[in-house]
A and B are shown apart, each in its own frame.
Chain A
Amino acid sequence: MLDDWLYLGIFTVISLFLPAAAITIAALLSPKKPDPLKTSIYECGMETVGETWIQFKPQYYVYALVYLVFDVETIFLYPWAVAYNQVGLFAVVEALLFIAILLGGLLYAWRKGALEWA
Protein backbone atom coordinates (compact mmCIF):
# COMPACT_ATOMS: atom_id res chain seq x y z
CA MET A 1 0.00 0.00 0.00
CA LEU A 2 2.81 2.38 0.80
CA ASP A 3 4.87 0.94 -2.02
CA ASP A 4 5.81 4.17 -3.77
CA TRP A 5 6.72 5.75 -0.45
CA LEU A 6 8.91 2.76 0.30
CA TYR A 7 10.70 3.19 -3.01
CA LEU A 8 11.05 6.95 -2.53
CA GLY A 9 12.36 6.42 0.98
CA ILE A 10 14.94 3.86 -0.16
CA PHE A 11 15.89 6.11 -3.05
CA THR A 12 16.34 9.10 -0.75
CA VAL A 13 18.49 7.13 1.68
CA ILE A 14 20.68 5.77 -1.12
CA SER A 15 21.03 9.07 -2.91
CA LEU A 16 22.27 10.61 0.33
CA PHE A 17 24.37 7.56 1.17
CA LEU A 18 26.32 7.46 -2.11
CA PRO A 19 27.91 10.94 -1.88
CA ALA A 20 28.44 10.48 1.85
CA ALA A 21 30.23 7.20 1.23
CA ALA A 22 32.37 8.76 -1.49
CA ILE A 23 33.36 11.61 0.81
CA THR A 24 34.14 9.22 3.64
CA ILE A 25 36.39 7.11 1.41
CA ALA A 26 38.13 10.24 0.18
CA ALA A 27 38.57 11.45 3.73
CA LEU A 28 40.25 8.16 4.63
CA LEU A 29 42.52 8.26 1.58
CA SER A 30 43.53 11.89 1.83
CA PRO A 31 46.37 13.24 3.96
CA LYS A 32 45.56 15.21 7.09
CA LYS A 33 48.09 17.90 7.88
CA PRO A 34 46.19 20.91 9.16
CA ASP A 35 48.09 23.98 10.21
CA PRO A 36 46.76 27.32 11.38
CA LEU A 37 47.52 29.11 8.13
CA LYS A 38 45.93 26.44 6.02
CA THR A 39 42.71 26.33 7.95
CA SER A 40 42.33 30.07 8.27
CA ILE A 41 39.38 31.67 6.56
CA TYR A 42 40.00 32.93 3.05
CA GLU A 43 39.44 36.60 2.41
CA CYS A 44 41.19 37.77 -0.77
CA GLY A 45 44.64 37.24 0.69
CA MET A 46 43.95 39.35 3.75
CA GLU A 47 43.44 38.38 7.33
CA THR A 48 39.75 38.19 8.07
CA VAL A 49 38.35 41.32 9.57
CA GLY A 50 35.45 41.18 11.96
CA GLU A 51 32.67 38.63 12.14
CA THR A 52 31.32 36.47 9.38
CA TRP A 53 27.96 37.76 10.36
CA ILE A 54 27.71 40.83 8.23
CA GLN A 55 24.42 42.58 7.73
CA PHE A 56 22.39 41.66 4.70
CA LYS A 57 20.09 43.95 2.91
CA PRO A 58 16.34 43.55 3.37
CA GLN A 59 16.07 42.98 -0.35
CA TYR A 60 16.69 39.27 0.22
CA TYR A 61 13.73 39.19 2.55
CA VAL A 62 11.44 40.76 -0.04
CA TYR A 63 12.38 38.20 -2.69
CA ALA A 64 11.84 35.34 -0.23
CA LEU A 65 8.50 36.89 0.66
CA VAL A 66 7.18 37.18 -2.89
CA TYR A 67 8.40 33.65 -3.50
CA LEU A 68 6.52 32.42 -0.46
CA VAL A 69 3.28 33.93 -1.69
CA PHE A 70 3.65 32.34 -5.12
CA ASP A 71 4.53 29.04 -3.48
CA VAL A 72 1.39 28.96 -1.43
CA GLU A 73 -0.62 29.77 -4.52
CA THR A 74 0.47 26.42 -5.98
CA ILE A 75 -1.47 24.65 -3.21
CA PHE A 76 -4.63 26.10 -4.67
CA LEU A 77 -3.81 26.31 -8.36
CA TYR A 78 -2.34 22.83 -8.83
CA PRO A 79 -5.51 20.98 -7.74
CA TRP A 80 -7.41 23.29 -10.05
CA ALA A 81 -4.99 22.53 -12.89
CA VAL A 82 -5.43 18.79 -12.30
CA ALA A 83 -9.21 19.16 -12.38
CA TYR A 84 -9.07 21.57 -15.34
CA ASN A 85 -10.44 19.13 -17.95
CA GLN A 86 -13.39 18.23 -15.73
CA VAL A 87 -14.64 21.67 -14.76
CA GLY A 88 -16.61 24.27 -16.66
CA LEU A 89 -15.80 27.73 -17.91
CA PHE A 90 -17.05 29.25 -14.66
CA ALA A 91 -14.30 27.47 -12.71
CA VAL A 92 -11.75 28.89 -15.13
CA VAL A 93 -13.10 32.37 -14.49
CA GLU A 94 -12.70 31.83 -10.74
CA ALA A 95 -9.11 30.75 -11.25
CA LEU A 96 -8.54 33.80 -13.45
CA LEU A 97 -9.74 35.96 -10.57
CA PHE A 98 -7.26 34.16 -8.30
CA ILE A 99 -4.43 34.76 -10.76
CA ALA A 100 -5.46 38.39 -11.27
CA ILE A 101 -5.32 39.04 -7.52
CA LEU A 102 -1.82 37.54 -7.42
CA LEU A 103 -0.77 39.58 -10.42
CA GLY A 104 -2.06 42.63 -8.55
CA GLY A 105 0.23 41.80 -5.66
CA LEU A 106 3.16 41.42 -8.01
CA LEU A 107 2.39 44.79 -9.62
CA TYR A 108 2.18 46.39 -6.17
CA ALA A 109 5.61 45.04 -5.32
CA TRP A 110 6.88 46.29 -8.66
CA ARG A 111 5.48 49.80 -8.22
CA LYS A 112 6.76 49.93 -4.67
CA GLY A 113 10.26 49.30 -5.99
CA ALA A 114 10.50 46.13 -3.92
CA LEU A 115 11.70 44.08 -6.88
CA GLU A 116 14.57 46.45 -7.56
CA TRP A 117 18.02 45.06 -6.78
CA ALA A 118 20.27 47.65 -5.14
Chain B
Amino acid sequence: MITGLQAFFLVNALITLFAAVKVVSSRKLVHAALWLVLALMGVAATFAMLGSRFFSVIQVFVYIGAIATLIIVAVMLTRNSMEDVGPQVNRGWWLPLVVVVLLFVGLVVVLSGWGDFGLSTRTVGAEGENVMELGKALVDPNGFVLPFEIASALLLGAMVAAIYLATDRKEGKR
Protein backbone atom coordinates (compact mmCIF):
# COMPACT_ATOMS: atom_id res chain seq x y z
CA MET B 1 0.00 0.00 0.00
CA ILE B 2 1.44 3.33 -1.06
CA THR B 3 0.65 6.41 0.96
CA GLY B 4 0.05 9.80 -0.61
CA LEU B 5 3.48 11.02 0.39
CA GLN B 6 5.17 8.01 -1.15
CA ALA B 7 3.21 8.46 -4.36
CA PHE B 8 4.28 12.10 -4.45
CA PHE B 9 7.88 11.07 -3.93
CA LEU B 10 7.73 8.61 -6.83
CA VAL B 11 6.11 11.08 -9.21
CA ASN B 12 8.55 13.80 -8.23
CA ALA B 13 11.54 11.46 -8.57
CA LEU B 14 10.42 10.35 -12.01
CA ILE B 15 9.97 13.94 -13.21
CA THR B 16 13.33 14.96 -11.77
CA LEU B 17 15.19 12.05 -13.29
CA PHE B 18 13.50 12.60 -16.65
CA ALA B 19 14.50 16.27 -16.52
CA ALA B 20 18.05 15.24 -15.58
CA VAL B 21 18.21 12.89 -18.57
CA LYS B 22 17.02 15.74 -20.77
CA VAL B 23 19.73 17.98 -19.28
CA VAL B 24 22.46 15.64 -20.46
CA SER B 25 20.86 14.73 -23.78
CA SER B 26 19.15 17.85 -25.15
CA ARG B 27 20.47 19.06 -28.45
CA LYS B 28 19.79 22.73 -27.74
CA LEU B 29 21.82 23.94 -24.84
CA VAL B 30 19.17 26.42 -23.73
CA HIS B 31 16.67 23.57 -23.51
CA ALA B 32 19.15 21.70 -21.39
CA ALA B 33 19.41 24.72 -19.08
CA LEU B 34 15.61 24.96 -18.78
CA TRP B 35 15.38 21.24 -18.03
CA LEU B 36 18.05 21.83 -15.40
CA VAL B 37 15.71 24.35 -13.77
CA LEU B 38 12.98 21.70 -13.62
CA ALA B 39 15.40 19.14 -12.17
CA LEU B 40 16.47 21.65 -9.51
CA MET B 41 12.81 22.25 -8.63
CA GLY B 42 12.41 18.50 -8.15
CA VAL B 43 15.41 18.45 -5.86
CA ALA B 44 13.92 21.34 -3.87
CA ALA B 45 10.73 19.29 -3.43
CA THR B 46 12.87 16.37 -2.27
CA PHE B 47 14.51 18.59 0.33
CA ALA B 48 11.03 19.58 1.48
CA MET B 49 10.09 15.91 1.88
CA LEU B 50 13.22 15.43 3.96
CA GLY B 51 11.86 18.08 6.33
CA SER B 52 14.30 20.87 5.55
CA ARG B 53 12.33 24.04 4.88
CA PHE B 54 15.34 26.33 4.90
CA PHE B 55 17.36 24.41 2.36
CA SER B 56 14.39 23.72 0.15
CA VAL B 57 13.73 27.44 -0.16
CA ILE B 58 17.45 28.16 -0.50
CA GLN B 59 17.63 25.59 -3.29
CA VAL B 60 15.09 27.57 -5.30
CA PHE B 61 16.62 30.91 -4.39
CA VAL B 62 20.27 30.09 -4.98
CA TYR B 63 20.22 27.31 -7.55
CA ILE B 64 17.37 28.52 -9.74
CA GLY B 65 17.64 32.22 -9.03
CA ALA B 66 21.39 32.50 -9.32
CA ILE B 67 23.24 29.45 -10.62
CA ALA B 68 20.72 28.53 -13.35
CA THR B 69 20.52 32.19 -14.38
CA LEU B 70 24.30 32.34 -14.55
CA ILE B 71 24.37 29.22 -16.72
CA ILE B 72 21.69 30.60 -19.05
CA VAL B 73 23.59 33.89 -19.37
CA ALA B 74 26.78 31.98 -20.15
CA VAL B 75 24.95 29.93 -22.78
CA MET B 76 23.71 33.12 -24.41
CA LEU B 77 27.19 34.64 -24.33
CA THR B 78 28.90 31.75 -26.03
CA ARG B 79 26.57 31.02 -28.92
CA ASN B 80 27.07 31.82 -32.53
CA SER B 81 23.69 30.68 -33.75
CA MET B 82 20.27 29.64 -32.56
CA GLU B 83 20.70 25.98 -33.48
CA ASP B 84 23.38 23.79 -32.01
CA VAL B 85 24.58 21.84 -35.00
CA GLY B 86 26.06 18.38 -34.91
CA PRO B 87 25.85 15.76 -32.20
CA GLN B 88 26.04 17.07 -28.68
CA VAL B 89 27.68 14.02 -27.17
CA ASN B 90 31.02 12.45 -27.89
CA ARG B 91 31.26 9.70 -30.47
CA GLY B 92 32.12 7.12 -27.88
CA TRP B 93 29.13 7.99 -25.71
CA TRP B 94 28.29 4.35 -24.98
CA LEU B 95 31.43 3.89 -22.90
CA PRO B 96 30.46 6.49 -20.27
CA LEU B 97 26.98 4.98 -20.34
CA VAL B 98 28.34 1.54 -19.44
CA VAL B 99 30.54 3.08 -16.74
CA VAL B 100 27.62 5.01 -15.28
CA VAL B 101 25.23 2.04 -15.29
CA LEU B 102 27.90 -0.10 -13.62
CA LEU B 103 28.46 2.63 -11.05
CA PHE B 104 24.75 2.85 -10.33
CA VAL B 105 24.42 -0.91 -9.88
CA GLY B 106 27.51 -0.91 -7.72
CA LEU B 107 26.21 1.91 -5.55
CA VAL B 108 22.86 0.19 -5.04
CA VAL B 109 24.54 -3.09 -4.16
CA VAL B 110 26.89 -1.43 -1.69
CA LEU B 111 24.07 0.60 -0.14
CA SER B 112 21.73 -2.35 0.24
CA GLY B 113 24.39 -4.09 2.29
CA TRP B 114 24.21 -1.23 4.79
CA GLY B 115 22.33 -2.09 7.98
CA ASP B 116 20.07 0.95 8.05
CA PHE B 117 19.09 0.74 4.41
CA GLY B 118 15.45 0.01 5.17
CA LEU B 119 15.25 2.69 7.86
CA SER B 120 11.91 4.43 7.62
CA THR B 121 11.53 6.40 10.85
CA ARG B 122 12.96 9.85 10.87
CA THR B 123 14.69 11.57 13.71
CA VAL B 124 13.79 15.03 12.45
CA GLY B 125 10.61 16.46 13.92
CA ALA B 126 7.59 17.96 12.23
CA GLU B 127 8.89 21.50 12.50
CA GLY B 128 11.91 20.66 10.35
CA GLU B 129 15.38 21.90 11.03
CA ASN B 130 16.04 24.55 13.62
CA VAL B 131 17.54 27.45 11.70
CA MET B 132 18.36 29.22 14.96
CA GLU B 133 20.48 26.29 16.12
CA LEU B 134 22.19 26.28 12.72
CA GLY B 135 22.94 29.98 13.09
CA LYS B 136 24.32 29.48 16.58
CA ALA B 137 26.48 26.59 15.44
CA LEU B 138 27.85 28.62 12.54
CA VAL B 139 29.25 31.36 14.76
CA ASP B 140 30.09 29.19 17.76
CA PRO B 141 33.88 29.20 18.32
CA ASN B 142 33.65 25.51 19.29
CA GLY B 143 31.32 24.85 16.38
CA PHE B 144 31.64 25.72 12.76
CA VAL B 145 33.09 29.22 12.77
CA LEU B 146 36.00 28.11 10.61
CA PRO B 147 33.81 26.78 7.75
CA PHE B 148 31.75 29.95 8.10
CA GLU B 149 34.72 32.24 7.52
CA ILE B 150 36.29 29.96 4.94
CA ALA B 151 33.04 30.06 2.99
CA SER B 152 33.25 33.83 2.77
CA ALA B 153 36.89 33.62 1.71
CA LEU B 154 35.93 31.00 -0.88
CA LEU B 155 33.24 33.28 -2.25
CA LEU B 156 35.64 36.21 -2.34
CA GLY B 157 38.20 34.11 -4.20
CA ALA B 158 35.62 32.88 -6.67
CA MET B 159 34.35 36.40 -7.28
CA VAL B 160 37.82 37.88 -7.81
CA ALA B 161 38.93 35.04 -10.06
CA ALA B 162 35.76 35.03 -12.14
CA ILE B 163 35.77 38.80 -12.62
CA TYR B 164 39.43 38.66 -13.59
CA LEU B 165 38.68 35.98 -16.16
CA ALA B 166 35.45 37.39 -17.50
CA THR B 167 36.36 41.02 -18.01
CA ASP B 168 38.05 41.83 -21.27
CA ARG B 169 41.47 43.13 -20.38
CA LYS B 170 42.23 44.56 -23.79
CA GLU B 171 39.15 46.68 -23.59
CA GLY B 172 39.81 47.59 -19.96
CA LYS B 173 43.09 49.27 -20.90
CA ARG B 174 41.44 51.73 -23.22
Contacts and interface: CB of A to CB of B under 8 A. Distances in A.
B156 A101 contact: yes
B160 interface: yes
Contacts of A97: 149, 152
A45 interface: no
A75 B79 CA distance: 32
Nearest to B125: A1
Interface string A52-84: 110110101110111111011111101111111
Interface stretch (B99-107, B113-121, B130-138): B130-138
Nearest to A100: B152
Interface of A: 1-2, 5, 51-53, 55-56, 58, 60-62, 64-69, 71-76, 78-84, 86-87, 90-91, 94-95, 97-98, 101-102, 104-105, 108-109, 112-114
- Interface of chain B, helix or strand or loop or mixed? helix
- Interface of chain A, helix or strand or loop or mixed? helix
Contacts of A81: 135
A55 B136 CA distance: 47
Interface string B120-149: 000000100001111110111100010011
A75 B62 contact: yes
Contacts of B136: 83, 86-87, 91
Given A60-B73, A83-B136, A91-B139, A76 B159 contact: no
Nearest to B69: A64
